[in-house]
């Protein structure tokens, strides 16, 4: 099972010259194609052109070169099958023992903002995946390498024994099928979206591993962190970690939740998150003021939480942040002074996100949620409203200040676990009731948390009121205005209660359940 002949054809030529030179030195005959052949020949490495093997020229701009029986017979022949051996001898063919192939850069091509359809299609590799699959299927006899990271290990085995172990070939074959599967999934997704079919009969997705995690939600659960191949900047998967220990499973989820909320705002904003719910959100004239409001919203719950800002963090804000224990701080950037201050805290993670695009006008993405035995897929909730979208349903009109606070509260409550009630005042949250089994229960928690700050605050509800009890509770707490979707068969009960207490109430016509 000695490796005598290798076929090398790579788009990404990282490390290939050194690898091929070592193979040649070990007595391996190298066959190659197109640009790879030219490179190896230029480097003085003995190499045979693919046309010498097939007896057929590379044609159609290189589209057809390896799709030939002389190639695939050499890859697929079962070496201990007498009939296969006879066919190889009679047809004057030869075995190919090692295949080194990586594919046309389809992902990098479609990631270009000005990519054309024709350019994308031209970068769909055909011959490469076919060779990889042939070699991987026949891994009992053929070694196949699709990742430059495996060059060194393969070389070590060849130098030591002249061949690779079956365990190595199995591992590399599995990697090939993962690679070609991901490649095809990306192509299928691209074409499905172009064809207006984002929810096709077969839903195939692919992700790239960022890192293994120490554990999942709890220490007894295994976990890893993956990102989309074309992930856009301004999220957790693309953030640069400037300081602190590695992220945990819960850190990643909380950080993602924090960024989702802070992106709702164009003005300077800071969000504090605990267990994927906001415990404090504030906006201000600058990020320093915004943080002070977010902290004041719930000085207890922010401890051990995650903080996200949508502006650069400077020294003054960093000094305040350093006064409490925080797991993560995310921001577009940090000034050198802020990094120096926060870097004194050994365990805090500092993530530089780059510029955060506002959620306003953002296109929805697809959200995948696993269920036992499958998954459900839905559009992400990127719906936003303006003042003109509101319907005033009470006798009293909200004041300009109340409208401002109602819209602020609505941006935040959509990110709170249902049933959700949020109280807002002075450009900050003052009470959050999250994840309760009934709406009035969520309201009680929000009011209790707000205390005296409930007086003069506004209330935002992620879904309609099934009865008037929440309005009565709000009135008793001194709340002056309410924003909710409306749409209950008992809307009139809530409207009547609001009128009786002099509360202004507006309907949005849209709910924001978050499970």
What is the distance between the alpha carbons of residues 347 and 325, in angstroms, rounded to a whole number?
Answer: 9
Catalytic residue among 13, 137, 383, 496: 137
Is 275 a known active-site residue? yes
**Helix, strand, or coil (residue 509):** coil
**Exposure b/e, 159-179, CB count within 10 A at least 16 = b:** eeeebbeeebbeebbebbeeb
Residue 278 sits at the vertex; the CA angle it makes with 265 and 491, to the nearest 5 degrees, is 85
Q: Rg (Cα) of the chain, in Å, rounded? A: 30
Cα–Cα distance list, 444 to 280, 406, 409, 433, 447 (Å):
17, 19, 17, 7, 5
Total number of residues shown for the chain: 515
**Helix, strand, or coil (residue 418):** coil
Provide the token pair at 398. Answer: 């909200």
Going by C-beta distance under 8 Å and a sequence separation of 6 or more, which residues neighbour residue 390?
403, 406, 483, 506, 507, 508
66 near 131, Cβ under 8 Å? yes
**Exposure b/e, 7-28, CB count within 10 A at least 16 = b:** bbbbbeeeebbebbbbbbeeeb
What is the distance between the alpha carbons of residues 106 and 102, in angstroms, rounded to a whole number?
Answer: 11
What is the distance between the alpha carbons of residues 191 and 185, in angstroms, rounded to a whole number?
Answer: 10
Closest C-alpha to 54, from 111, 8, 94: 94
Is 243 a known active-site residue? no
C-alpha distance across the termini of the chain, in Å: 56
Q: Is 376 exposed, middle or buried (0-12, 13-18, 19+ CB in 10 A)?
A: exposed
Sort strands 421-425 and 458-461 into parallel, antiparallel or unpaired. Answer: antiparallel
Calculate helix-pair angle for 166-194, 127-137, nearest 10 degrees.
150
Catalytic residue among 68, 84, 275, 383: 275
What is the distance between the alpha carbons of residues 293 and 295, in angstroms, rounded to a whole number?
Answer: 5
Instruction: Estimate the share of the chain in helix, then strand, then coil, as percent rounded to the nearest 5.
Output: 40, 20, 40
Closest C-alpha to 16, from 74, 35, 72, 63: 35
Closest C-alpha to 353, from 431, 464, 242: 242
What is the distance between the alpha carbons of residues 312 and 290, in angstroms, rounded to a whole number?
Answer: 12
Q: What is the DSSP string of 47-69?
A: -EEHHHHHSS--BTTTTBSS-SH
Q: Which residues are catalytic?
A: 137, 275
């Amino acid at each position: 099972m000695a490796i005598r002949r290798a076929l090398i054809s790579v788009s990404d030529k990282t490390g290939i010259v050194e690898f091929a030179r070592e193979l040649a030195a070990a007595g391996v005959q190298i066959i190659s194609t197109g640009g790879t052949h030219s490179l190896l020949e230029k480097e003085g490495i003995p190499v045979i052109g693919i046309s010498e093997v097939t007896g057929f020229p590379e044609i159609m701009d290189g589209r057809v070169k390896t799709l030939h029986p002389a190639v695939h017979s050499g890859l697929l022949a079962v070496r201990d099958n007498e009939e296969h051996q006879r066919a190889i001898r009679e047809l004057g063919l030869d075995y190919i023992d090692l295949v080194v192939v990586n594919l046309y850069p389809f992902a990098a091509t479609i990631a270009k903002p000005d990519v054309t359809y024709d350019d994308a299609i031209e970068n769909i590799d055909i011959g490469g995946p076919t060779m990889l699959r042939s070699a991987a299927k026949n891994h009992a006899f053929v070694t196949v390498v699709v990742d430059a990271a495996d060059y060194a290990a393969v070389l070590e085995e060849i130098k030591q024994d002249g061949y690779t172990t079956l365990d190595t070939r199995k591992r590399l074959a599995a990697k090939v099928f993962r690679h070609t599967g991901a490649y095809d999934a990306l192509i299928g997704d691209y074409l499905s979206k172009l064809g207006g079919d984002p929810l096709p009969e077969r839903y195939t997705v692919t992700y790239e591993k960022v890192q293994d995690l120490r554990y999942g939600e709890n220490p007894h659960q295994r976990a890893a962190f993956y990102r989309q191949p074309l992930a856009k900047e301004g999220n957790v998967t693309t953030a640069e970690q400037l300081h602190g220990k590695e992220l945990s499973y819960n850190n990643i989820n909380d950080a993602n939740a924090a960024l989702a909320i802070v992106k709702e705002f164009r003005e300077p904003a800071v969000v504090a998150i605990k267990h994927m719910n906001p415990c404090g959100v504030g906006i201000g004239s600058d990020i320093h003021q915004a943080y002070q409001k977010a902290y004041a919203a719930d000085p207890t719950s922010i401890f051990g939480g995650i903080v996200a800002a949508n502006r650069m963090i400077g020294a003054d804000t960093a000094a305040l942040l350093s006064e409490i224990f925080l797991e993560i701080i995310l921001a577009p950037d940090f000034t050198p002074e802020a990094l120096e201050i926060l870097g004194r805290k050994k365990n805090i993670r500092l993530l530089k996100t780059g510029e955060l695009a506002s959620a306003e006008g953002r296109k929805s993405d697809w959200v995948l949620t696993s269920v036992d035995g499958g998954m459900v897929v839905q559009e992400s909730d990127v719906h936003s409203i303006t003042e003109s979208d509101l319907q005033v349903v009470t006798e009293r009109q909200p004041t300009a200040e109340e409208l401002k606070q109602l819209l602020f509260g609505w941006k935040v409550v959509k990110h709170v676990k249902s049933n959700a009630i949020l109280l807002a005042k002075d450009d900050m949250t003052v009470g959050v009731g999250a994840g309760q089994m009934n709406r009035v229960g969520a309201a009680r928690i929000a009011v209790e948390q707000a205390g005296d700050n409930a007086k003069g605050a506004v209330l935002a509800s992620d879904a309609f009121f099934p009865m008037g009890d929440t309005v009565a509770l709000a009135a008793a707490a001194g709340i002056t205005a309410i924003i909710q979707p409306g749409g209950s068969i008992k809307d009139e009960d809530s409207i009547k209660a609001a009128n009786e207490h002099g509360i202004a109430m507006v309907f949005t016509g849209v709910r924001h359940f978050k499970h």
